[in-house]
């Protein structure tokens, strides 16, 4: 069996993009005009890819660190840290590029953010994570993902939700439309009496997930951890369970560069293409000037809704 040099180059490119060996084989078959023009099997191709990956055994971490040092030479704000155990075996590797350090407050290493703590963090209801956040970021406002809380409630109260349609409507109104803590707590107690005592657990943890308790902290219209979970899904499309540390670092850089490119495109559109005004009210004109297109769109919808009310 024989794989030509040009085919090897194609295989390498597709493999580095985390394309499965079966799909790589089919792509080469298509390129060559049929299976009769391909002089190796799918299994042979898979073995060749595995052989290339095995070359990193024993030098994987070193190649990753060499890559980080190269990145640091290009970007002075690039930071990486290594944690080893008592046997000098690598336990954790942390890295962050300069643009991310300047733009975001990342959870994981306070050093990366020059000692600054994030203003707010949204996670699921994991108690271990809650303890860790309180210890590492004592000044950060920690909020539980509202979606996870409500999903757990539906799992526990499935029969009640199915029989009494008003349960979901009442809970939605109580949780999301209460303007004050007092209003929420009264509505919640009414629901406890009306529906099911399992809601008692939700009520006892209310200060960690109900919106009205976080009005003094900016969460930028976020109440769930969906954003980080979406990032996990994107990352899985770039890497696999067998991806080496070195290749993971390469793929992660590509993913970040792809995200930055989309951000730059949105910044360009915000700076050079003005969205259409709904009115010529000075407040809306100013909002269009200072907000990004997406945030202005949210503002415009709220501004339009505000005209539905009349004061006397």
Average pLDDT over residues 26-34: 88
Average pLDDT over residues 2-7: 85
Q: Is the pLDDT of residue 250 over 50?
A: yes
> Measuring CA to CA, how many Å separate 17 from each of 226, 238, 254?
25, 7, 9
pLDDT score of 71: 92
Looking up tokens 């002075």, which residue turns up? 76
Residues 6 or more apart whose CB falls under 8 angstroms from that of 61 comprise 90, 93, 245, 246
Average pLDDT over residues 113-118: 66
Residue ranges of the domains in the chain? 5-54, 60-139, 143-214, 274-307
Structure letter (DSSP) for residue 121: E
- Mean pLDDT, the chain, rounded, equals 77
Q: Is the pLDDT of residue 235 over 80?
A: no
* pLDDT tens readout for residues 170-205: 777 887 888 888 888 888 777 777 666 556 666 677
Does the pTM surpass 0.75? The reply is: no
The three-class DSSP label of residue 92 is strand
Average pLDDT over residues 73-96: 83
Q: Is the pLDDT of residue 72 over 50?
A: yes
């Amino acid at each position: 069996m024989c794989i030509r040099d040009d085919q090897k180059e194609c295989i390498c490119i597709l493999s580095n993009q985390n394309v499965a060996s079966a799909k790589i084989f089919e792509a080469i078959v298509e390129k060559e005009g049929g299976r009769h023009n391909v002089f190796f099997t799918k299994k042979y191709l898979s073995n060749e890819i595995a052989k290339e990956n095995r070359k990193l055994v024993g030098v994987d971490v070193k190649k990753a660190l060499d890559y980080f040092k190269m990145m640091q030479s290009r970007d002075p704000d690039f930071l990486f840290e290594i944690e080893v155990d008592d046997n000098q075996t690598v336990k954790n590797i942390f890295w962050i590029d300069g643009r991310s350090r300047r733009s975001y407050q990342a959870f994981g290493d306070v050093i990366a953010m020059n000692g600054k703590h994030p203003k707010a963090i949204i996670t699921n209801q994991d108690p271990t994570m809650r303890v860790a956040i309180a210890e590492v970021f004592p000044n950060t406002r920690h909020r539980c993902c509202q979606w996870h809380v409500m999903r757990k409630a539906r799992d526990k109260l499935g029969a009640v939700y199915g029989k009494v349609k008003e349960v979901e409507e009442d809970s939605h109104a109580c949780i999301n439309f209460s303007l004050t803590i007092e209003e929420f707590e009264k509505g919640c107690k009414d629901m406890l009496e009306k529906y099911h005592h399992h809601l008692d657990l939700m009520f006892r943890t209310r200060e960690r997930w109900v919106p009205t308790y976080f009005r003094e902290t900016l969460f930028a219209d976020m109440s769930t951890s969906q954003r980080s979970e979406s990032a996990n899904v994107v990352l899985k499309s770039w890497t696999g369970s067998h991806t080496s540390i070195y290749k993971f670092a390469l793929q992660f850089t590509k993913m970040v560069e792809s995200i930055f490119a989309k951000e730059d495109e949105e910044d360009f559109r915000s700076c050079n293409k003005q969205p259409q005004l709904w009115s010529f009210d000075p407040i809306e004109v100013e909002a269009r000037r200072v907000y990004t297109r997406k945030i202005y769109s949210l503002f415009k919808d709220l501004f339009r809704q505000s005209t539905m009310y009349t004061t006397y």
